[in-house]
Structure 1
Amino acid sequence: MIRARGLVVAALLCFSTPAYALPTPVSPTDPAVADQWTNPFARPDERTDVGVEVLEADSRRAVLSVYNNSGDVVSDLSVTPRRADAAPTVGEARRVLALGRDAYPYFGTSLDLKGELGPGERRDVTLTLDSLGLEPGTTPLMFSLAGAVGEPGVLSLGTERMLLTSEGEEEADAQTPGVSLVVPLTAPVDIVPGETGQAPEDPPLILQSEQLADQLAPGGRLTDILHTYATATTTGPNAAELSQGTCLAIDPALVETVARMAEGYTVADERPSLTKKSQRLRDSWGSDDESDSGEPGRGVADAQEWLTRLSATAGAGCTVALPWANADVNAVAATEDEWLFRELVQRGPATLQAELGAAPAGNVVIPASGYVTEQTTTALGWADQTSSMVLQQGMQAAWEASVASRVPQPTDADDTALESTELPDMTGAPPPQTPVQVLVADNTVWGVPRAGSFARLAPGITAVTYPGALGALLSSTGPSPQTTGYSNPDSRFDYRLDSITARALTAGSAVRLAVAEQTLPGDWAQSPEPVLVLPASLLDARTASILLSTTAELLAEDAATPLPLDQAVTPGTEQAEELDSQPLSPPTLGVTRFGSPYADPSVVSDTEVLRAGQQARYTDDLTRMMVNDPGINLTRYGFTLPLRRDVLTSLTATSRSSLGSYEDVVAAAGRRLDANRRTLQDLRGSVALIPPGNVYTRASESSPLLIVAENGLPLPVDAELVYSGPEGATIDVPGRVHIPAYGSITVQMTADLPAERDQTQLTLWLATRDGSPISTPVDITVQTRAGIVGTYGIALLLVVGLSLMLLFRVGRHRRRDRQRP
């Protein structure tokens, strides 16, 4: 019945409101989207300044901390344990956690706290749960605090909710499901924007803060998670089986940054200017244009130690690459830039293998949003690692091959705005030679062929689904609990109402409940579907420890079997035949076949996608206008690669779907795109035309026109000189202008200008070979010979007139002198 009910729910999702992008980012407090973040009727009127937190809990007792963060004294405090009925499914358990106090009708024995609790104070208490009469299974539990704040009168204060699994649950006489736990390892990477590539070494690393060093230090989040995972899968209980059923999902941007930190780095607010411009020596005397050099980073040794531990852990078990910087795959696909998407999904596995020495699982994409759009599937062919040569040749080899085969696309030469007029063809992603698997929630695919936990999204693109209710509940763990777009809005609330520990314990019980759902009696239970466990992106060490220990316990109890990730994402023979037997209908305009079934308040807005896409295409234009030089180690793609990474970092999904950090993430993305735009404009502006002056005077009609082209980039630039002028004006420009790196060249042109004009206005600029503008247009005025004669005549008359006036005044003064006595 549960499976049938799931099918009905999936069918009803077709009528739900999908996740459309908003025009601009909107604050979670804005009434337009507030109810998409939290259901206004979920857990109403809960006080947050006076409450209770769980420190430890099991089926017998709970250790709690009662706190008073208000400005008043609290008295007559009492804590009461309450429970609901045992939940049959994870979805039902999640729903009860969002309900009011009335949903917990069973009371236990209350504990009265003696004395008062002053402002800022907290007190730890131990509460026995025997009086609750817990049923076997997973039960929603609530600790309710009551007391008098300030004036006399007992009020209901804060509550703490969690799921608790009780012992004594009957074992089902059925085949046990496979369990695969994916532990994410990512963190925000705050490289100062505007970096460009160098060769043969990487450019000096400049970070905006030491937040990453803090996470790598002993006791830091990244260090604790790695230690917890390595210990559990090597020396912990049932480590051998647990190692088979777990996989470490690593952010390649994090690994690449830590590897650079290990070589030394600087902490500063901005980076030095990238462009080199000519300057006279006397103009530089006394000038102070050096920017703040920053402070040496303090996390070098910790970065080295962490990278060594990560390499050992990766070599001993399973790893898989997250999208670069954990960027939103749907947002990157919406930019419609091929190279940005290829950097997102193609670079990561090669980076992990190069830095860690172990090949990660290939052709697996893990979207942080838990779903993919139909536009995204047109680009997922780039995630096929079997056809990628990034590890051997780098992405620049693919770029050069693509440019060599590109047919020139002329553009409007008058368009000199930042936005490029050339749009890469995202539909040109080749069909994968080996199927690409993308991990999504089970309620995000409904109009495509399905077989068990697999769905066919496009030729060669297969969705591997995990329980949506479990994914939504696990995403609400950690320091930045996420509001997933695929979660039922009725059960959305501010997950920070419960402590990190309570949510971690809930996650462990939810995994047990998800496994139990697959082993309920029934004829279908002989072939249960695997349980894929995906926690929140910013996982904390406590939650990771509970999830690992819970999985190990399930394996030790024979309640589940370890399922390696490569097997979990590969359809079996029967499933593959079932998928092949169902026709895959092509996309239909206006018909949605998969994606988020509900409104996603954290979806990247249209404005942000537009800005990111413009900068990505502008970076493509900047790359194309340069040419590689055999005498220079640096390649043109390598020079602009960090600029693409800045765009990907601005589209990170890490913490974006968190109610408490959404606005900070959006603001940081805006600042990064602003800084990246300035850098792109500076680089583009360093290739320029320098006219000889406002007016260029030709001695004769055959006199050439001269103009200087300069290049402030570290690679030569091949360009065409383009002009516009009045009707009848023709300029014979060279077909190709080769400007050396950090140099300049004088360009000579011949012109046939209208003879009837004294002066002719011309506009010149540099453009790429396919017509994209490079430099800012410059205006020059060419003086013709007729104009010269006319000008000389006027000048001669002025000289004669001035001479006569001078002679007249001198003669008058002499007459006056003779007339004086």
Structure 2
Amino acid sequence: MIRRVGGLLVAAALCLSMPAHALPTPVSPTDPAVAAQWANPFARPDEPTDVGVELVEADAARVVLSVFNNSGETVSDLTVTPRRADAAATVGDARRILALGRDAYPYFGTARPLGGELAAGERREVSIPVDPLALQPGATYPLMFALTGAVGQQGVGQLGTERMLFTTTAGERQEAQVPDVSLIVPLTAPVDIVPGETGRAAEDPPLILESEQLADQLAPGGRLNDLLNTYATATTTGPNAAELSQGACLAIDPALVDTVARMAEGYTVSPERPSLTKKAQRLRDSWGSAGESDPGEPGRGAADAQEWLTRLSTTAGAGCTVALPWANADLNAVAATEDEWLFREAVQRGPATLQAELGAAPSGNVVIPAVGYVTEQAATALGWADQTGSTVLEDGMQATWEAAVARRAPQQAGADHSSLESPVLPEEPGAPVPQTPVQVLVADNTVWGVPQVDNIARLAPGINAVTYPGALGALLAATGPEPQTAGYSNPDARFDARLDSPLARALTAGSAVRLAVAEQTLPADWAQSPEPVLILPASLIDAPTAAALLTATAGLLAEDAATPLPLDQAVTPAREQAETLDAQPLSPPTLGVTRFGSPYADPAVFSDTEVLRASQQARYTDDLTRMMVNDRGINLTRYGFTLPLRRDVLMSLSATSRSSLGHHEAAVAATDRRLDGNRRTLQDLRGSVALIPPGNVYTRASESSPLLIVAENGLPLPVDTELVHDGPPGATVDVPGRVHIPAHGSITVQMTADLPADQDQTQLTLWLATRDGSPISTAVDITVQTRTGIVGTYGIALLLVVGLSLALLFRLGRQRRGNRQRP
């Protein structure tokens, strides 16, 4: 008891004092500094994984298990023993028991010896009845199937276990107040477009993917194919489909839909992208070179992509859909970049993309963070998610960009850009207060210091948090092919979910939903009403887990144990809730005081280094966009040209696999590769706008002679720049106020200069900058030869010529005298 109370006190202290903080650099889950944040070292300790047991099949009366031997040695004396704990009262208790040792399962069933030996690499199935465990009807039990045996010459000992939650059939139901339920099924996948893509006129650029992993998921038997089939069948023709479809919604990643639509038009698979710019090369240097980069292979998934997109359009048109952030990006990391347009692309474009591609408008003003919580920095930026009056579908984001640039242009007029340091740009306005409130779905233990009524909390003006059960969310996160560690989950109950089989985790998910609904069910005579149960599974949910959740939800609706709640109603505060929230004052953020966010350390949070790199690239993309000029004769906008570069940054901040213990390092590596590839492209684009100096020394015939320099532009749109200079005291250079360089062209810029007369040479530094002072090109140094230097040089040259002439005449005279003296 003391241990339990102590744990609760520690958890309470952590909740108040240990919000998630980013580390300086990414750290491996095996690093001792963070290993305990991923998995409690005291949870299921010393559980072998090379010899164990996996769930194959289960029903109300029995389970079928597969005993496997991956140890490399023969195993003998194998016995499987079913065990159970007491029925769980809450989802939090069930999750904690799943993480405890074998002693937490004190009730034994009938042991089942396998007989014989199990060779290395061999498997054997065994059927175990659950009746001997004396399970009571209508309860949820943590079950454990423990394997014992002797490996090689060792004695008999404890081997692996298989654990799950198991809900028994309910008996006679009492009159009660049942909760509303709303099930949200995510539909997302990593999108591996080769980084460095840029926009093209009139159409999308050719799609180049790094691999066929997305095509495999879209093909028959693939995860995305089967997941969509499972959802569509359950909500149209499955048991109790009519009610289920009212309370179910498909949360779709717009980046996935956009990529699949492009795949349907044909694509290429290649590990690299052809260079955007071609550097000058001498003929002799090109001899024997490889020439163009590998063009790649034609993709094989176009037909499957088109077929899947058609089925998704039909499903979306028949039911509820909502947009995930673009590429399922971590909104907290995106907000930390402090780049307005990156955040707007993350939350503002998605609904328009889904409506354009699928033909059905998704629910508006609903944001679903992949990590289950938002920071205060992200909450204030969520005003950009307001779809009220959005024109992105009709005009695209470029119209919004141009309008914003036009509004800020007067503030930037008259700035002095003559020095090497860039001027401080005017402060960009923050996100506006939404005209219609924005609802963000977060775990219920991630809000504590803001006004809250039932499951609605006010995070900022116009920004409401709609909470779902945190324990249920954490348990559901640990399902699917890549089980995740929820950053808001209690670290005491964190363990490597891969210790249990995917099917066992799927059945656990279905039982957890039933337990969460039972937890909220209230007696009929209570004045209090039950809170709704929002079911939000892992981002990379698979078909078996989705089937378990859909089946459990449909069963609850059929049994009148719950009522369906459409998502639009689930996220809309009732009038009484809204009035109560409006009456409570919302205190402004206080330095050092955290009011909401992750209550525990989140080991998957993006590091400071990654956020810094993303921020730098987003800002340079903004600079690159601002320096270009739209041209009516070119069917390409400057925002459209740089849009794919912003999407690269968003994809680098995807949270889809980031919180998976088994895939975290691969996700970190993918972030690094994408940011590296995007950086190289930005450098190439930057290098394509440059000054070409006139050799090492520029010699002027007179002090009034102009200085000439060539400015070139390799971009597909004209560039409006300023020529900025830096020189020694007393040097004055009169440069043009505006340098307009045509698309894929060059221009000669003429300058006049008043240089110090007492110096033979003057060093000048020149570079191109945007009209608001941001440097564009690499600075170039030129040396200007003054008139005094010219005279001095001519004098020295004349003396040298005279001296050489006299020496030559003297030598010729001596030679002639010598010839006359010879006989």
**TM-score surpassing 0.5?**
yes
Match of 2:243 in 1: 241
Shift of 1:171: 2.7
Q: Any idea what the Cα deviations from partners look like across 1:138-188, whole Å, max 9, x if unmatched?
A: 000000000000015211000011000012355342221111000000000
SS at match of 2:117: coil
Match of 1:32 in 2: 33
Q: Which residue identity lines up with residue 761 of structure 1 in the other structure?
A: Q
Match of 1:93 in 2: 94
Q: Which residue identity lines up with residue 64 of structure 1 in the other structure?
A: L
Match for residue 554 of structure 1 among 547, 556, 560:
556
Shift of 1:428: 1.3
Q: Any idea what the Cα deviations from partners look like across 1:717-772, whole Å, max 9, x if unmatched?
A: 00111111111111111111100000000011111111111111111111111111
Match for residue 534 of structure 2 among 502, 519, 532:
532
Q: Which moved more, 1:352-361 or 1:147-156?
A: 147-156
Aligned ranges 1:256-405 → 2 under 5 Å: 256-275=258-277, 288-405=290-407
Q: Any idea what the Cα deviations from partners look like across 1:593-624, whole Å, max 9, x if unmatched?
A: 10000000001111111110010000000000
Aligned ranges 1:596-675 → 2 under 5 Å: 596-675=598-677
User: Within the alignment, does 1:408 sit opposite 2:412 as a pair?
Assistant: yes
Q: Which moved more, 1:575-584 or 1:107-116?
A: 575-584
Q: Count how many residue pairs are aligned between Structure 1 and Structure 2.
A: 812
Q: Is the 8 A contact 2:723 2:769 kept in 1?
A: yes
Across the aligned residues of Structure 1 and Structure 2, the Cα RMSD in angstroms comes to 2.0
Match of 1:677 in 2: 679
Q: Is the 8 A contact 2:367 2:441 kept in 1?
A: yes
Match of 1:488 in 2: 490
Gaps of 5+ in 1: 1-6
Aligned ranges 1:149-160 → 2 under 5 Å: 149-160=151-162
Match of 1:48 in 2: 49
Cα 1:89–1:321, aligned 2, differ >3 Å: closer, same or farther? same
Match of 1:476 in 2: 478
User: Within the alignment, does 1:440 sit opposite 2:442 as a pair?
Assistant: yes
Aligned ranges 1:786-801 → 2 under 5 Å: 786-801=788-803
TM-score by length of 1: 0.96
Q: Distance in 1 between matches of 2:582 and 2:10?
A: 24
Q: Distance in 2 between matches of 1:209 and 1:187?
A: 13
TM-score by length of 2: 0.96
Q: Distance in 2 between matches of 1:554 and 1:288?
A: 64
Cα 1:614–1:525, aligned 2, differ >3 Å: closer, same or farther? farther
User: Within the alignment, does 1:103 sit opposite 2:104 as a pair?
Assistant: yes
Q: Is the 8 A contact 1:75 1:148 kept in 2?
A: yes
Q: Between the two proteins, what is the percent identity of the paired residues?
A: 81
Cα 1:172–1:513, aligned 2, differ >3 Å: closer, same or farther? farther
Shift of 1:510: 0.1
Q: Which residue identity lines up with residue 795 of structure 1 in the other structure?
A: A
SS at match of 2:681: helix
Q: Distance in 1 between matches of 2:279 and 2:159?
A: 65
Q: Distance in 2 between matches of 1:123 and 1:422?
A: 70
User: Within the alignment, does 1:453 sit opposite 2:449 as a pair?
Assistant: no
Cα 1:522–1:316, aligned 2, differ >3 Å: closer, same or farther? closer
Q: Distance in 2 between matches of 1:421 and 1:269?
A: 40
Cα 1:334–1:411, aligned 2, differ >3 Å: closer, same or farther? farther
User: Within the alignment, does 1:729 sit opposite 2:743 as a pair?
Assistant: no
Q: Any idea what the Cα deviations from partners look like across 1:668-696, whole Å, max 9, x if unmatched?
A: 10111011111101101110011111111
Q: Which residue identity lines up with residue 59 of structure 1 in the other structure?
A: A
Q: Is the 8 A contact 2:425 2:772 kept in 1?
A: no
Q: Distance in 2 between matches of 1:500 and 1:422?
A: 54
Shift of 1:809: 3.7
Shift of 1:114: 1.7
Shift of 1:806: 3.0
User: Within the alignment, does 1:133 sit opposite 2:134 as a pair?
Assistant: yes
Q: Is the 8 A contact 2:44 2:99 kept in 1?
A: yes
Q: Any idea what the Cα deviations from partners look like across 1:384-425, whole Å, max 9, x if unmatched?
A: 001321001100001001111112285876668xxx876785
Match of 1:566 in 2: 568
Cα 1:490–1:143, aligned 2, differ >3 Å: closer, same or farther? same
Q: Which residue identity lines up with residue 68 of structure 2 in the other structure?
A: Y
Match of 1:3 in 2: none
Q: Which residue identity lines up with residue 468 of structure 2 in the other structure?
A: Y
SS at match of 2:434: coil
Q: Is the 8 A contact 1:337 1:424 kept in 2?
A: no
Q: Any idea what the Cα deviations from partners look like across 1:231-279, whole Å, max 9, x if unmatched?
A: 1111111111111000000000000000000000000111111125567
Q: Which residue identity lines up with residue 768 of structure 1 in the other structure?
A: T
Shift of 1:534: 0.3
Q: Which residue identity lines up with residue 114 of structure 1 in the other structure?
A: G
Q: Is the 8 A contact 1:251 1:321 kept in 2?
A: yes
SS at match of 1:713: coil
Shift of 1:323: 0.2
Q: Which residue identity lines up with residue 85 of structure 1 in the other structure?
A: D
Gaps of 5+ in 2: 1-7
Q: Distance in 1 between matches of 2:418 and 2:179?
A: 62
User: Within the alignment, does 1:203 sit opposite 2:205 as a pair?
Assistant: yes
Aligned ranges 1:493-532 → 2 under 5 Å: 493-521=495-523, 524=526, 526-532=528-534
Shift of 1:56: 1.4
Q: Distance in 2 between matches of 1:424 and 1:67?
A: 65
Match of 2:125 in 1: 124
Q: Distance in 1 between matches of 2:669 and 2:637?
A: 33
